[in-house]
Chains A and B, each alone.
Chain A
Amino acid sequence: MDMNLKLKIWRQNGANDQGKMVDYSLSDVSPDMSFLEMLDVLNEQIINEGGEPIAFDHDCREGICGMCSLYINGEAHGPDRGITTCQLHMRKFKDGDTIYIEPFRAKAFPVIKDLVVDRTAFDRIQHQGGFISVNTSGNTQDANSLPISKHAADEAMDAATCIGCGACVATCKNSSAMLFVGAKVSQYALLPQGQVEAADRVRNMVAQMDAEGFGNCTNTGACEVECPKGISLDNIARMNREFFKANI
């Protein structure tokens, strides 16, 4: 059955604008729509009424790219678990519901417009060591020739599934980026290819994380719960161990 919804959506015209919640009504919403399709329909309605459409981030709409964000009814990526906003469907809501839609909020994620936030702080952290330096001149060692335990390979893969969407920061009461940085440090710390630059990587990435103004982790565990890829808190503990190993 199609639904009629009340929407309270954050509108903000640029980083320096104060911004406010604006009320919208949307009728005949199919429960089979994705959340972003619902916003597409709302934008068509706004454009037809001569208004400015709501800006929001999206790209692959398959839960892979990490581009979509949104804080829906008080939760990053909405009320479902293990999904991004683009994988959230309107069947999770009921006819007559009021839905609050806000951008991911953190000082390090300034609003660009409406629901779009600047998450390039994550890119700058990655630039400080979220990679391995490999000589690709043609005589690169075959990765399969390096023995790696199944357990380490699995844990590294799990860490590498982080799509850098920023839900961890958005949901953390301290706006901490430690789950993201922990995952990026861990995916290399667990593998032989990551050992050569391990100390510099963790030192530099943590320094950049601090410089970007993210808060400090207090182990509430909210990030792990809201992470669309289920990145474990273990990665934060591993980052802490790597950090001390690099500095002692």
Chain B
Amino acid sequence: MSGVLSSSIGRKVAMAASAFFLMFFLLQHFVINLTSIFSADAFNELSHFMGTNPAVQFALQPVLIFGVVFHFVMGFVLELRNKQASVKYVKNNGAANSTWVSRNMIYSGLAILAFIVLHFIDFWFPEINHKYIANLPEDPSRYYGELVHKFHSPVRTGAYVAAFAFLALHLLHGFKSAFQSSGMSAKRAAKLETVSKIYAIGIPVGFIIIALFHHFNQH
């Protein structure tokens, strides 16, 4: 089996598997964040559950972090190996046969990585500090206030909006590509085209709306 995972196809499918996991996580993250527009209480309740449930904290969270790290590391490894395999042309017309997003997944991925670092600094590190380092008393109603406070800054809001635009670019190719890598025929993958576009554009645009809503709705 180790031979399978070190093969080019094995790496490709592993990349797709981690992408599926991250896309599922992104969807549930979006659904929870979306509640913050409609109900502070619902957002607080869901966030409190996610932040304190032992199964989420000690089983799902490590798997998520592994999934994120794996996807990035494997992405870099594949990019480096592909660079080693190729030789540059003096004149290359890539636009004649493929989309810009499909050829530049590494750059949209790097932008998302930079965003995740910012996101961890904004939310994840303070959360870990609150619960496990400073051991501050648990307050189930603090989450909504923390979220709204973060989107006070126009610079941070702008950075989030830009990052979600890169996320949309990444997903526009990545969603379909993950299905194809895992062996789905191009014809079936083509049928997913609409779902792919709805997910790739809908989720990032939704995140942008949430960020802008809280930025312009400061009390």
Q: Which residues of A contact B90 (CB under 8 A)?
A: 8, 10, 21, 100, 102
Query: CA–CA, A213 to B180, complex, Å?
Result: 22
Q: Interface size for chain B: under 10, 10 to 19, 20 to 34, or 35 or more residues?
A: 35 or more
Closest to B174 in A: A219
Instruction: Say which residue of B89, B99, B177 sits within 8 Å of A102 (CB atoms).
Output: B89
Q: How far is the CA of A223 from the CA of B37 in the complex (A)?
A: 45
Q: How far is the CB of B22 from chain A (nearest CB, A)?
A: 17
CB contact under 8 A between A206 and B82, given known A175-B87, A233-B186? no
Q: B56-85: which residues lie under 8 A (CB-CB) from chain A?
A: 78, 81-82, 84-85
A105 CA to B91 CA, complexed, in Å: 12
- Shortest Cβ gap from A16 to chain B (Å): 15
**In whole angstroms, what is the CA distance A216 to B105 when docked?**
14
User: Does B102 interact with chain A (Cβ within 8 Å)?
Assistant: yes
| A245 to chain B: closest residue by CB | B183
Mark the stretch among B4-12, B148-156, B198-206 that contacts chain A.
B4-12
Among candidates B11, B91, B98, residue contacting A74 with C-beta atoms closer than 8 Å: B91
- Known contacts: A175-B82, A213-B85. The answer to whether A222 contacts B186 by CB under 8 A is no
| Interface set, chain A 192-248, CB cutoff 8 A to B | 206-207, 209-210, 213-222, 225-226, 232-234, 236-241, 243-244, 247
Q: Is residue A106 contacting chain B, with contact meaning CB distance below 8 A? A: yes
A71 within 8 A of B: yes
Taken together as a complex, chains A and B put the C-alpha atoms of A186 and B90 apart, in Å, by 34
- A241 & B183 in contact (Cβ 8 Å cutoff): yes
Given contacts A220-B98, A222-B98, contact A74 B92 (CB under 8 A): yes
Taking the complex as formed, is B185 at the interface, i.e. its CB lies under 8 A from any CB of chain A?
yes
B167 CB to closest chain A CB (Å) equals 18
Q: How far is the CA of A176 from the CA of B84 in the complex (A)?
A: 11
Determine the distance from Cα of A172 to Cα of B90 in the docked complex, in whole angstroms.
Answer: 15
Q: Does B173 contact A (CB under 8 A)?
A: yes
B183, A218: Cβ atoms closer than 8 Å: no
Q: Does B35 contact A (CB under 8 A)?
A: no
> Of B96, B98, B176, B182, which one neighbours A240 at CB under 8 angstroms?
B182
Cβ contacts under 8 Å, B4 to chain A? 243-244, 247
Q: Are A209 and B86 in contact (CB under 8 A)?
A: no
State whether A238 and B185 are in contact (beta carbons under 8 Å apart), knowing that A207-B7, A218-B102 are contacts in the complex.
yes
Contact indicator B85/A107 (Cβ below 8 Å): yes
| Interface assignment of B94: CB less than 8 Å from any CB of chain A | yes
Are B89 and A232 closer than 8 Å at their CB atoms?
A: no
Tell me the nearest residue of chain B to A79, going by C-beta. Answer: B96
Q: Quick check: B97 and A216 within 8 Å, CB to CB?
A: no
B183 near A240: Cβ-Cβ < 8 Å? yes
Contact (Cβ within 8 A) B180 A214: no
Asked whether, in the complex, the Cβ of A237 is within 8 Å of the Cβ of B92, the reply is: no
Interface: A25 (CB within 8 A): no
Min distance, Cβ B101 to any Cβ of chain A, angstroms: 9
Q: Which parts of B93-145 form the interface with A (CB within 8 Å)?
A: 93-94, 96-99, 102-103, 105
Instruction: Judge if A174 is at the interface, Cβ distance under 8 Å.
Output: yes
Cα distance, A243 to B8, chains bound together (Å): 11
> Taking the complex as formed, is B157 at the interface, i.e. its CB lies under 8 A from any CB of chain A?
no
Tell me whether B94 and A222 are in contact (CB under 8 A). yes
Point out the residues of chain A lying under 8 angstroms from B8, CB to CB: 176, 178, 206, 209-210, 214, 216-217
Q: Which residues of A contact B180 (CB under 8 A)?
A: 219, 233, 236-237
Q: Flag if B97 contacts A100 (CB, 8 Å).
A: no
Q: Mark B166-202, 1 if CB is under 8 A from A, else 0.
A: 0000000100110011111111010000000000000
Distance of A225 Cα from B180 Cα, bound (Å): 16
Please give, as numbers and ranges, the residues of chain A lying within 8 Å of B87 by CB-CB distance: 105-107, 175
Known A-B contacts: A74-B91, A213-B84, A215-B81. Give 16 more (CB < 8 A): A8-B91, A71-B89, A71-B92, A73-B93, A74-B93, A74-B96, A75-B97, A107-B87, A108-B85, A175-B82, A214-B8, A218-B82, A218-B102, A221-B97, A232-B186, A240-B182
Task: For the complex of A and B, list the 10 residue pairs with the smallest distance between their C-beta atoms, beginning with the closest.
Answer: A74-B93, A215-B85, A174-B82, A225-B97, A215-B82, A105-B87, A220-B98, A241-B183, A100-B91, A219-B177
Question: Could you list some 17 contacts between A and B, CB below 8 A?
Answer: A73-B91, A105-B89, A171-B97, A176-B8, A215-B81, A216-B8, A218-B102, A218-B105, A219-B177, A220-B173, A222-B94, A226-B97, A233-B180, A234-B185, A237-B180, A244-B183, A247-B4
